[in-house]
C-alpha cells in the first residue's frame, strides 16, 4: 500500500513536470482494494483491468521502473512505450492489459475464462480470471453481455466492481438505476457481494472466496468493493465537484494511514517499521524514476515493428510524406 | 478437383481446420442447432460438440470480445456474425480491441481470430440489412480484411485466415453462396494481401472484389466479342491492399475502372483511384472511373434497390465511355 501511494504521488508529480503525457489515472485511495485483490490472485491467474492500473501492475509483481518507463513512453516500458498509463500489459505476470475504453476489457476477460474452461478441468488447480471495472462501467452494454455469457456458460471469472463512488464526476446514484451494484449479479444468477474496500484483509478474504467459486464450482462471481478516489478522475481533474466537507471526510477515511495505525495498534508492526516501509517505498520510486529517465525513447524506425504478428504481403510501411508505390 | 459451391467450400474448410487443430472453435448466433443462418456450419455441432461449436446469445459485442480474449490465451476462434450489418454492434471490440491489442501492448500478445460474415445487398432487406460497409474495417491497420470472389479462394483464404495470428475480417457475400467453381483438394496457398488477375486483357483494367469480380468477368467476356480486351483484377484482400498488382495492370492497359459494392464517397474505389494515380499516372489515357452503389440508404422496393446497386449495365456503360473518351471506339 505504501509503495502504491508513493508511486502514484510521484506519477502525479512527473505528470505535472510533463514527463508523462496523455491521461494518467491514479489508484490513490484505492490501495487497500488493490492489495487485497492482488494478494488473493495466484501467479497463474489472469488479470484484466481498466485504465486505472498502475497499482495493480506493481502489486502483481511488475518492476516499478518498467511501469514508470511505460508512463514515460520509453522502450523499457512494460508495453514498450506503445501503451502508456492506460495500457500496461505483461504476459509474464498474466496482466492481460489495462483497457482505455470503458467496459472494453469485459468481453475479452470473459473470453479468457472461456479459454481456461476449454482447456482445464474445474478444480482447485485450475486458473481463474479477475476482471476489474469501475462503478460507472456497470451501465455499459458489455457489462450485461459479459455477465450473461459467463453465467450461461459457467466460466471461471470474478468481476470486481471497484466502486469509488464516482465515474469521472457522476455519482453512482446518478448513473445506476440500482445503486447497490453487486445486486446486479442476481439478474444473471451470479453470486455477488459487497465489501469494504478500505480494509485489505476483508477484500482479500472476499476475493479468495470468489476465486474459489470460479475455479472449483465454475460459477462466475461479482464482487463489489467500496472505496474512494482521493483525487480527481485523472491527474488533470481538480475535482471541483467535491465539497470541502467531502474532502475532509476523504482524509479521515484514507486507507493508507488507517491501515498503518491498525497494524501499529495491534502490534503487528512498530512505528519504526512503518517508517522504514515508507522510506523503502520512496527509494524504490526514486529508482523507478531514474530507470525510466535513462531508458531510451523508441525510435521512428521502430514504428512498424508491431504492426502484425503474422507478416503479410503489401502491408504499407510508408512514413507520412513517403510515396506509396515506388516501383 | 471437385466443383463445389462457395458455401460448401466454406463449410468444408471450417470442418477441415477444426479437425486439424483442436484450438479452433466456432462462436456465433444460431450456428449450432440452427446450423447457421446461411447453413455454413451445418452438421458441425453434431460432429464437434457444443464445446467447439458455441451458440451465443444475441450479444455481438460480447461474443466478439469473448473470441478476442480466448485468442489471447491461445485458442483460435472463428466468430460468425449473421451479417456484416450486425457487426456494427461489435464495432468496439473489433475496432478498439481486436485490431489494436497486438500493437498497443507492444507486440506481446497476438489475436488469432477470424470474424466471418456475409455482406452484400440485393436481397430486398431494406436499409439496415443491406450495407456494404467493408471499407470501415479496411480502414483499420491491425485488422486484415479479405473478400474472396470464388469457391477456390473462399477455401484458400479461409484456411490462411484461420492459421494467421492476426485478426481477420472474412467477408463473404450472400449473392455468392450458391455459385460454383473448381476447388482443388490441396489448393495453392493464397496469402492475405495478394490480388489475382481473374481474367487477362490488354485494353482496360477493371479492379473489383467479391461479387463485383464475377460481374466484371461477365462483362469482359461479352465485350471480348466486340474486340475489346478487358483485364479483371480480383483484389481478394482489402487490407493489406495489393497496389502493385493493379497498378502493373493499369500500366499495361492504360485505362482503369473500379467496380465496388459500397458507397462512392470515401469508398474502396476512392482508395484505388488514388493509388492508380500515384502508381500509374504517366500511363493513364483517361481518368479512373468508379462504379459504386448510389449514395442512398438502400430501399426495399425491388426496382429502387436494383437501380441503386452497381451491376453489369453500369459497368458496361462506364467501360464503353472510358474507351470512347480515349479514341478506342467500342461497338455498342
Ligand atoms: C466507452 C467510453 N466512454 C467514455 C469514456 C470516458 N471515460 C473514461 S473514464 C470514465 C468514467 C468511468 O468511471 P468508472 O467506471 O466508475 O471508473 P473509475 O474511473 O471510477 O475507476 C469515462 C466516462 C471512455 N473511456 N470510454
Structural domain boundaries of chain A? 1-300
Comparing alpha-carbon positions, the chain B residue that sits nearest to A303 is B103
Cα–ligand 1 centroid distance for A166 (angstroms): 10
B76 and B146 part of one domain: yes
CATH number of A1-300: 3.40.50.970
A136 within ligand 1 shell (Cβ under 6 A): yes
B165 and B212 part of one domain: no
The CB density around residue A296, as the number of other CB atoms within 10 Å, is 10
Residue B293 and residue B305 in contact, taking contact as beta carbons nearer than 8 Å: no
> Any chain A CB within 8 A of the CB of B165?
yes
B152 and B83 part of one domain: yes
Percent of chain A with pLDDT over 70: 100
Q: Is B197 helix (H, G, I), strand (E, B) or coil?
A: strand
The torsion region of residue B126 among left (phi > 0), alpha (psi -120 to 50) and beta comes to left
A112 vs B57, B70, B243: nearest CB: B70
Calculate the average pLDDT of chain B.
95
**A162 CA: nearest ligand 1 atom:** 21
Taking the C-alpha atoms of residue B91 and residue B15, their distance in angstroms, rounded to an integer, is: 28
- Asked if A314 lies within 8 A of B164 by C-beta distance, the reply is no
Which parts of chain A sit beneath pLDDT 70? 327
| pLDDT above 90 for B326 | no
pLDDT the model gives residue B328: 78
**Nearest CA to CA, how far is B305 from chain A (Å)?**
34
B151 and B19 part of one domain: yes
pLDDT the model gives residue A316: 81
Instruction: Count CA within 13 A, CB hemisphere, residue B116.
Output: 31
B159 and B200 part of one domain: no
Q: In which domain, by residue range, is B111 found?
A: 2-183
Q: Is B60 a catalytic residue?
A: yes
| pLDDT above 70 for B30 | yes
pLDDT the model gives residue B327: 79
B59 vs A118, A148, A312: nearest CB: A148
Q: Which of B183, B210, B241 is the last residue of a domain?
A: B183
Taking the C-alpha atoms of residue A322 and residue A318, their distance in angstroms, rounded to an integer, is: 6
| pLDDT above 60 for B72 | yes
B23 and B125 part of one domain: yes
Count of domains observed in chain B: 2
- Asked if A118 lies within 8 A of B75 by C-beta distance, the reply is yes
B211 and B264 part of one domain: yes
- Asked if A77 lies within 8 A of B96 by C-beta distance, the reply is no
Point out the catalytic residue in the list B30, B129, B139, B321. Answer: B129
- Asked if B65 lies within 8 A of A46 by C-beta distance, the reply is no
Burial A85-117 (b: 16+ CB within 10 A, else e): bbbbbbeebbbbbbbbbbbbbbbbbbbbbbbbb
Mean predicted confidence (pLDDT) in B265-285: 96
pLDDT the model gives residue A57: 98
B194 vs A111, A152, A314: nearest CB: A314
Residue of minimum CA distance from atom 13 in ligand 1: A167
Q: Which of B129, B156, B183 is the last residue of a domain?
A: B183
**CATH number, residue B114:** 3.40.50.970
B206 and B291 part of one domain: yes
**CATH number, residue B222:** 3.40.50.920
Within a domain: B189: no
B125 and B59 part of one domain: yes
Taking the C-alpha atoms of residue B110 and residue B23, their distance in angstroms, rounded to an integer, is: 15
B123 and B102 part of one domain: yes
> Any chain B CB within 8 A of the CB of A101?
yes
Within a domain: B332: no
pLDDT the model gives residue B325: 86
B165 and B279 part of one domain: no
B153 and B248 part of one domain: no
pLDDT the model gives residue B332: 47
| pLDDT above 90 for B189 | no
More confident residue, A237 or B332: A237
pLDDT the model gives residue B329: 61
Mean predicted confidence (pLDDT) in B96-123: 95
Q: Is B11 a catalytic residue?
A: no
Q: What is the ipTM of this complex?
A: 0.92
Within a domain: B41: yes
Q: Is A201 helix (H, G, I), strand (E, B) or coil?
A: helix
- Sequence-distant (6+) residues with CB within 8 A of A194 are A163, A180, A181, A182, A223, A224, A225, A226
Comparing alpha-carbon positions, the chain B residue that sits nearest to A147 is B62
pTM: predicted TM-score of the whole model, two decimal places:
0.95
Amino acid at each position: 500500500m505504501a509503495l502504491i501511494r508513493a508511486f502514484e504521488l510521484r506519477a502525479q508529480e512527473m505528470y505535472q513536470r510533463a514527463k508523462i503525457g496523455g491521461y494518467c489515472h491514479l489508484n490513490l485511495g484505492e490501495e487497500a482494494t488493490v492489495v487485497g485483490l492482488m494478494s488473493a490472485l495466484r501467479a497463474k491467474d489472469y488479470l484484466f483491468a481498466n485504465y486505472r492500473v498502475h497499482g495493480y501492475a506493481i502489486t502483481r509483481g511488475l518492476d516499478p521502473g518498467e511501469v514508470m518507463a511505460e508512463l514515460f513512453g520509453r522502450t523499457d516500458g512494460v508495453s514498450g512505450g506503445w501503451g502508456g498509463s492506460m495500457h500496461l500489459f505483461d504476459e509474464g505476470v498474466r496482466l492481460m492489459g489495462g483497457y482505455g475504453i470503458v467496459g472494453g476489457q469485459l468481453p475479452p476477460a470473459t473470453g479468457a475464462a472461456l479459454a481456461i474452461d476449454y482447456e482445464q478441468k474445474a478444480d482447485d488447480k485450475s486458473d481463474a480470471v479477475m476482471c476489474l471495472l469501475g462503478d460507472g462501467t456497470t451501465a455499459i452494454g458489455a457489462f450485461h453481455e459479459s455477465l450473461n455469457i459467463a453465467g450461461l456458460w459457467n466460466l471461471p471469472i470474478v468481476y470486481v466492481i471497484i466502486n469509488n463512488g464516482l465515474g469521472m464526476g457522476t455519482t453512482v446514484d446518478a448513473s445506476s438505476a440500482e445503486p447497490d451494484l453487486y445486486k446486479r449479479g442476481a439478474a444473471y444468477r451470479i453470486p455477488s457481494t459487497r465489501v469494504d474496500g478500505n480494509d485489505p484483509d476483508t477484500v482479500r478474504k472476499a476475493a479468495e472466496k470468489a476465486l474459489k467459486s470460479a475455479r472449483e464450482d465454475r460459477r462466475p462471481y461479482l464482487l463489489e468493493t467500496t472505496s474512494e478516489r482521493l483525487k480527481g478522475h485523472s491527474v488533470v481533474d481538480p475535482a471541483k465537484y467535491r465539497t470541502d466537507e467531502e474532502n475532509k471526510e476523504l482524509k479521515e477515511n484514507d486507507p493508507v494511514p488507517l491501515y498503518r495505525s491498525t497494524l501499529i495498534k495491534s502490534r503487528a508492526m512498530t512505528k519504526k517499521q512503518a517508517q522504514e516501509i515508507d522510506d523503502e517505498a520512496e527509494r524504490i520510486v526514486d529508482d523507478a524514476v531514474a530507470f525510466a529517465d535513462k531508458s531510451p525513447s523508441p525510435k521512428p524506425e521502430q514504428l512498424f515493428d508491431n504492426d502484425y504478428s503474422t507478416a503479410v504481403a503489401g502491408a504499407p510501411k510508408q512514413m507520412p510524406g513517403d510515396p506509396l508505390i515506388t516501383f | 478437383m471437385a466443383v463445389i459451391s462457395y458455401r460448401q467450400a466454406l463449410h468444408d474448410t471450417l470442418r477441415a481446420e477444426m479437425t486439424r487443430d483442436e484450438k479452433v472453435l466456432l462462436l456465433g448466433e444460431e450456428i449450432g442447432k440452427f446450423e447457421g443462418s446461411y447453413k455454413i456450419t451445418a452438421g458441425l455441432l453434431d460432429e464437434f460438440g457444443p464445446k467447439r461449436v458455441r451458440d451465443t446469445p444475441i450479444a455481438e459485442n460480447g461474443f466478439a470480445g469473448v473470441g478476442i480474449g480466448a485468442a489471447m490465451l491461445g485458442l483460435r476462434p472463428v466468430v460468425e456474425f449473421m451479417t456484416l450489418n450486425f457487426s456494427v454492434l461489435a464495432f468496439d471490440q473489433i475496432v478498439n480491441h481486436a485490431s489494436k491489442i497486438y500493437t498497443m501492448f507492444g507486440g506481446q500478445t497476438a489475436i488469432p481470430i477470424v470474424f466471418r460474415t456475409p455482406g452484400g445487398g440485393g436481397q430486398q432487406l431494406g436499409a439496415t440489412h443491406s450495407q456494404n460497409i467493408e471499407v470501415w474495417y479496411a480502414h483499420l491497420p491491425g485488422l486484415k480484411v479479405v473478400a474472396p470472389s470464388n469457391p477456390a479462394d473462399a477455401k484458400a483464404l479461409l484456411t490462411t485466415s484461420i492459421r494467421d495470428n492476426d485478426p481477420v475480417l472474412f467477408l463473404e457475400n450472400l449473392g455468392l453462396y450458391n455459385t460454383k467453381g473448381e476447388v482443388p483438394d490441396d489448393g495453392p496457398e493464397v496469402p492475405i494481401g495478394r490480388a489475382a488477375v481473374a481474367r487477362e486483357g490488354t485494353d482496360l483494367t477493371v479492379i473489383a472484389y467479391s461479387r463485383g469480380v464475377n460481374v466484371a468477368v461477365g462483362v469482359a467476356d461479352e465485350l471480348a466479342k466486340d474486340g475489346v480486351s478487358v483485364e479483371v483484377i480480383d483484389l481478394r484482400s482489402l487490407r493489406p491492399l495489393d497496389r502493385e498488382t493493379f497498378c502493373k495492370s493499369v500500366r499495361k492497359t492504360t485505362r482503369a475502372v473500379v467496380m465496388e459494392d459500397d458507397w462512392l464517397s470515401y469508398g474502396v474505389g476512392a482508395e484505388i483511384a488514388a493509388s492508380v494515380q500515384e502508381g500509374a499516372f504517366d500511363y493513364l489515357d483517361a481518368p479512373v472511373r468508379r462504379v459504386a452503389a448510389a449514395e442512398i440508404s438502400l430501399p426495399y422496393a425491388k426496382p429502387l434497390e436494383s437501380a441503386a446497386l452497381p451491376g453489369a449495365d453500369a459497368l458496361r456503360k462506364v467501360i464503353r465511355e472510358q474507351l470512347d473518351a480515349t479514341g478506342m471506339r467500342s461497338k455498342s
